[in-house]
């Protein structure tokens, strides 16, 4: 039994640790992983693998996932490396190992994540979409969906949900100087809201303060609000601090084993049960939504790269990519997740600490959304002109 | 002036409404958290000061660029003027306890400052910046934790600190509280003021009043439950001083705090290990200016009835509970700890 003085001593020691962590801005420990959630995470991984992988590889993957080939306990398997600031849920900054994916071989990238849950599915490795200048020309990894002629649908963008990544207990990534991803994303989100509202869009924020909002709640908000677009804002973290770049995700399949593993890992606290997740997966291949998400992602990526490169030419265009992040799976409208820059790059971190840079990013996001919305909103008018011409 | 070896320990409760300091030399002061700079040459000539702080600033507000720099208990982000105002406030507090910040011979100042329970790390960094040049060593801790530490309520207790900007909750379980043990509601005294002002505008559309008047009325009359007296105040109606009964408006505004505070209290109690929940329920402490709302403790006890009952008590010294707790912490920390917290 601790005496009163023992408790005081312990408290003082913990106060000191907390203060030193603030002083040195050490990243917080990743959230504890409970066995129950680990099981859910494993189930989600199975579900993701079943749905997202090509049929001819499915049986191999299922057997691989269901019968772990290692003796490692599940909890150990899913836990992220402790030195990596791991977001609790679907988080934007891919873990360090993943972020380096573009430069290293897949085997090395899997190994870099620590003890793997299962061996990587025996899939042919496919590069993520190239980080090219031609943002819109991403290499498709599946049959392109049949486009619906938007001229037949009076589609308009009116309501936009902005999702500032992380928040509350989920700090996201953070720099040694104490700049936390959750704060930057919130600030950019609020700036973006102002810009959109000035342009007469209706805006809903998944959070407008520092609070923990589960991913399920974020997507539910977007769905119940009947939003037209969903834009999730995150910052990337790429180990080594040498890379600074922008990438934008939309929902789609991936054959990258790293991304599958990441999705399982990052979706584990999403709040979805397996049954819910299956229903959600039904939405994945709804071609219109998927295609519109891609268009939105391309538009956002293009304006981000163009606008920010004008001022910071060293920014890399890491391209438009697909990944099964839960916020993208759970939303029923065109949705993108933008990694607006890399907090791991010292110069980017310095710039992100300035209101002007955050404003620049918000402005670029706004331009991307506006360009997409204008293109969409223009369709009915164009079709009417066409109709008149025909007449 | 310093306690030993040229060192002065201080505990500071930086509040949205009031800021208090307790020092190891026995000095204790509280000021209104207002800072004002004369707006022009005329104001400077009349006031004969370059900066006014506290009540003096409030009373001369018409001539000042008046700032209340602590929003929700933290420096307002993105405002250099507010950061400067907090710096002035801290300098002033230290001056009140006998420290002249610019004096090279001054003692080493070791300060413990309380911040809202869920303050961001960046916010703490802002505070640290503002403290530069005033304190030599700085420890930043959760505000309700300082209250608990000062009361030596370290085990199986729940502290609810109702300030102006935030209501902070902290369960003490023998460890420094983590995010799981703490909550911050942005519903506190200021929210009551705004609610009261809105109600008054609705009920007495002709009446003229400022938020400062509303705040004073609330501080004088606040209550929940049954009134013990009628809240009679005087305010101009169409320019004519008029006596009005605002009892119902006061009650409605104050009672708006009860549901969120009760819910958060019950939620935190429910998170405690089951075998200790009863102990925690019977060790709930109300602190901060908002705890002076008459009948609030009873209302919270009423909310506890549905989970088996409990006891809510008020700190004996509402004004200095946080600052005194900070000072106790400052004095208990050893030299080697302080040496790691160099500004």
Of B211, B235, B255, at which residue does a domain stop? Answer: B255
**Rounded mean pLDDT of A40-65?**
42
**Rounded mean pLDDT of B226-236?**
90
Quick check: is B264 in a domain?
Answer: no
Quick check: is B314 in a domain?
Answer: no
| Across A11-20, A110-119, A233-242, B224-233, least confident range | A110-119
The rounded mean pLDDT for chain B is: 85
Q: Above 60 in pLDDT, residue A65?
A: no
The rounded mean pLDDT for chain A is: 65
Look up the CATH superfamily of A31-140+150-391: Zn-dependent exopeptidases (3.40.630.40)
Could you tell me if residue B149 is left (phi over 0), alpha (psi between -120 and 50 degrees) or otherwise beta? alpha
Q: Enumerate chain A positions whose Cβ falls within 8 A of a Cβ in B.
A: 2, 4, 7-8, 10-12, 14-20, 22-23, 25, 168-169, 171, 174, 177-180, 183, 209-210, 355
Instruction: Report pLDDT for B179.
Output: 76
Most confident of A30-44, A149-163, A329-343: A329-343
Q: Which chain A positions have a beta carbon within 8 Å of B155's beta carbon? A: 7
Of B255, B270, B304, at which residue does a domain stop? Answer: B255
Question: Is the same domain home to B15 and B131?
Answer: yes
Of B230, B255, B280, at which residue does a domain stop? Answer: B255
Give the total number of structural domains in chain B: 2
Q: What's the pLDDT band for A229 if we cut at 50, 70, 90?
A: very high
Instruction: Report pLDDT for A122.
Output: 33
Residue in chain B nearest A167 by alpha carbon: B120
How many Å lie between the alpha carbon of B44 and the closest alpha carbon of chain A?
33
Quick check: is B181 in a domain?
Answer: no
**Strand B28-32 and strand B7-13: pairing?**
unpaired
Quick check: is B288 in a domain?
Answer: no
Spatial distance between the Cα atoms of A101 and A80, rounded to a whole number of angstroms? 17
Q: Do B186 and A7 touch (CB under 8 A)?
A: no
**Rounded mean pLDDT of B163-187?**
85
Which positions ≥6 away from B81 have C-beta within 8 Å? B65, B67, B69
Quick check: is B281 in a domain?
Answer: no
Listed by number, the residues of chain B in 305-334 with a beta carbon closer than 8 Å to a beta carbon of chain A are 329, 332-334
* Contact between residue A330 and residue A349 where contact means Cβ atoms under 8 Å apart: no
- Which of the residues B75, B112, B115, B121 would you substitute to probe the A interface, choosing the one with the greatest number of A C-beta atoms within 10 Å? B121
Spatial distance between the Cα atoms of A4 and A10, rounded to a whole number of angstroms? 10
Question: Is the same domain home to B123 and B216?
Answer: no
Q: What's the pLDDT band for B255 if we cut at 50, 70, 90?
A: very high
Question: Is the same domain home to B11 and B144?
Answer: yes
Give the residue among B95, B7, B20 at the shortest CA–CA distance from B323.
Answer: B20
How many Å lie between the alpha carbon of B184 and the closest alpha carbon of chain A?
10
Q: What's the pLDDT band for A267 if we cut at 50, 70, 90?
A: low
- The CATH code of the domain that includes B29 is 3.30.420.40
Q: What's the pLDDT band for A14 if we cut at 50, 70, 90?
A: confident
Q: Which chain B positions have a beta carbon within 8 Å of A209's beta carbon? A: 186
Q: What's the pLDDT band for B127 if we cut at 50, 70, 90?
A: confident
Q: What's the pLDDT band for A263 if we cut at 50, 70, 90?
A: low
Instruction: Report pLDDT for B301.
Output: 94
Q: Reading across the β-sheet that carries B182-185, which strands appear in turn?
A: B182-185, B167-173, B155-162, B284-287, B312-314
Q: Above 50 in pLDDT, residue B95?
A: yes
Higher pLDDT, B320 or B130: B320
Q: What's the pLDDT band for B81 if we cut at 50, 70, 90?
A: low
Q: Above 60 in pLDDT, residue B47?
A: yes
Residue in chain A nearest B117 by alpha carbon: A168
Percent pLDDT > 70 in chain A is 51
Q: Do A22 and B125 touch (CB under 8 A)?
A: yes
Residue in chain A nearest B186 by alpha carbon: A209
Residue A208 CB: number of other CB atoms within 10 A? 14
Question: Is the same domain home to B66 and B199?
Answer: no
Give the residue among B163, B19, B194 at the shortest CA–CA distance from B95.
Answer: B19
Q: What's the pLDDT band for A391 if we cut at 50, 70, 90?
A: very low
Q: What's the pLDDT band for B10 if we cut at 50, 70, 90?
A: very high
Instruction: Report pLDDT for A6.
Output: 82
Q: Above 60 in pLDDT, residue A97?
A: no
Which positions ≥6 away from B137 have C-beta within 8 Å? B108, B109, B110, B111, B338, B339, B341, B342, B343
Q: Above 80 in pLDDT, residue B97?
A: yes
Quick check: is B127 in a domain?
Answer: yes
Quick check: is B285 in a domain?
Answer: no
Q: Which chain A positions have a beta carbon within 8 Å of B139's beta carbon? A: 15-16, 19
Residue B186, chain A, CB below 8 Å: the answer is yes
Higher pLDDT, B78 or B318: B318
Nearest beta carbon to residue A355 from set B78, B140, B152: B78
Domain range for B222: 189-255
Q: What's the pLDDT band for A193 if we cut at 50, 70, 90?
A: very high
| Across A71-75, B33-37, B45-49, B233-237, least confident range | A71-75
Question: Is the same domain home to B119 and B219?
Answer: no
Q: Which chain A positions have a beta carbon within 8 Å of B122's beta carbon? A: 178-180, 183
Percent pLDDT > 70 in chain B is 92
Q: What's the pLDDT band for A31 if we cut at 50, 70, 90?
A: very low
Q: Which chain A positions have a beta carbon within 8 Å of B125's beta carbon? A: 22, 25, 177-178
Quick check: is B266 in a domain?
Answer: no
Instruction: Report pLDDT for A358.
Output: 92
């Amino acid at each position: 039994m601790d005496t009163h003085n023992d408790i005081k001593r312990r408290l003082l020691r913990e106060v000191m640790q907390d203060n030193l962590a603030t002083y040195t801005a050490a990243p917080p420990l990743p959230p504890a992983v409970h066995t129950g959630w680990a099981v859910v995470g494993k189930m989600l991984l199975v579900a993701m693998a079943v749905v997202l992988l090509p049929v001819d590889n499915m049986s191999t993957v299922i057997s691989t996932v269901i019968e772990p080939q290692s003796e490692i306990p599940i909890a150990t398997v899913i836990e992220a490396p402790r030195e990596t600031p791991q977001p609790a849920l679907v988080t934007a900054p891919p873990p360090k190992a993943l972020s380096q994916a573009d430069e290293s071989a897949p085997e090395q990238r899997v190994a870099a994540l620590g003890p793997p849950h299962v061996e990587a599915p025996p899939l042919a490795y496919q590069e993520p979409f190239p980080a090219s200048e031609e943002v819109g020309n991403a290499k498709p990894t599946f049959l392109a969906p049949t486009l619906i002629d938007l001229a037949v649908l009076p589609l308009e963008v009116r309501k936009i949900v902005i999702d500032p990544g992380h928040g509350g207990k989920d700090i996201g990534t953070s720099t040694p100087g104490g700049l936390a991803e959750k704060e930057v994303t919130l600030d950019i989100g609020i700036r973006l809201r102002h810009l959109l509202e000035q342009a007469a869009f209706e805006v809903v924020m998944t959070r407008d303060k520092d609070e923990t909002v589960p991913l399920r709640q974020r997507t539910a908000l977007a769905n119940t609000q009947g939003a037209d677009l969903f834009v999730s804002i995150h910052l990337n973290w790429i180990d080594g601090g040498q890379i600074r770049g922008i990438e934008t995700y939309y929902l789609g399949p991936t054959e990258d084993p790293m991304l599958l593993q990441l999705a399982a890992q990052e979706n584990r606290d999403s709040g979805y049960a397996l049954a819910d997740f299956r229903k959600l997966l039904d939405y994945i291949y709804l071609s219109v939504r998927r295609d519109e998400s891609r268009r939105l992602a391309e538009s956002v990526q293009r304006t981000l790269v163009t606008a920010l490169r004008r001022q910071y030419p060293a920014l890399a265009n890491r391209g438009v990519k697909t990944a099964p992040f839960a916020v993208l799976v759970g939303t029923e409208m065109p949705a993108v997740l933008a990694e607006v820059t890399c907090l791991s790059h010292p110069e980017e971190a310095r710039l992100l600490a300035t209101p002007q840079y955050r404003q620049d990013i918000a402005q670029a996001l706004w331009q991307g959304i506006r360009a997409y919305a204008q293109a969409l909103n223009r369709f009915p008018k164009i079709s009417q002109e066409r109709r008149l011409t025909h007449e | 002036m310093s306690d030993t070896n040229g060192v002065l320990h201080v505990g500071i409760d930086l509040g949205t409404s009031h800021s208090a300091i307790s020092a190891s030399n026995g000095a204790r002061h509280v000021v209104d958290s207002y800072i004002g700079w004369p707006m022009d040459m005329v104001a400077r000539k009349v006031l004969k000061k370059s900066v006014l702080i506290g009540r003096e600033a409030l009373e001369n507000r018409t001539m000042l660029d008046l700032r209340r720099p602590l929003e929700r208990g933290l420096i307002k982000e993105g405002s250099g003027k507010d950061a400067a105002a907090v710096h002035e406030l801290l300098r002033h507090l230290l001056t009140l306890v006998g420290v002249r910040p610019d004096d090279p011979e001054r003692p080493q100042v070791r300060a413990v400052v309380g911040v809202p329970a869920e303050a961001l790390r960046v916010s703490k960094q802002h505070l640290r910046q503002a403290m530069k040049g005033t304190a030599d060593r700085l420890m930043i801790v959760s505000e309700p934790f300082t209250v608990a530490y000062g009361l030596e309520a370290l085990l199986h207790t729940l502290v609810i600190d109702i300030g102006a900007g935030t209501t902070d909750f902290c369960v003490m379980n023998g460890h420094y509280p983590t995010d799981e043990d703490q909550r911050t509601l942005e519903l506190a005294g200021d929210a009551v003021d705004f609610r009261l002002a809105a109600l008054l505008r609705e009920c007495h559309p002709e009446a003229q009043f400022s938020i400062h008047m509303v705040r004073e009325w609330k501080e004088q009359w606040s209550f929940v439950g049954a009134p013990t007296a009628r809240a009679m105040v005087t305010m101009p109606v169409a320019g004519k001083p008029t006596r009005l009964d605002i009892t119902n408006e006061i009650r409605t505004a104050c009672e708006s705090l009860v549901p969120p505070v009760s819910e958060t209290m019950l939620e935190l109690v429910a998170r405690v290990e089951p075998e200790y929940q009863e102990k925690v329920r019977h060790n709930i402490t109300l602190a901060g200016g908002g705890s002076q709302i008459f009948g609030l403790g009873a209302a919270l006890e009423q909310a506890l009835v549905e989970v088996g009952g409990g006891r809510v008590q008020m700190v004996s010294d509402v004004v200095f509970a946080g600052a005194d707790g900070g000072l106790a912490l400052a004095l208990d920390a050893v030299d080697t700890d302080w040496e790691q917290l160099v500004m």
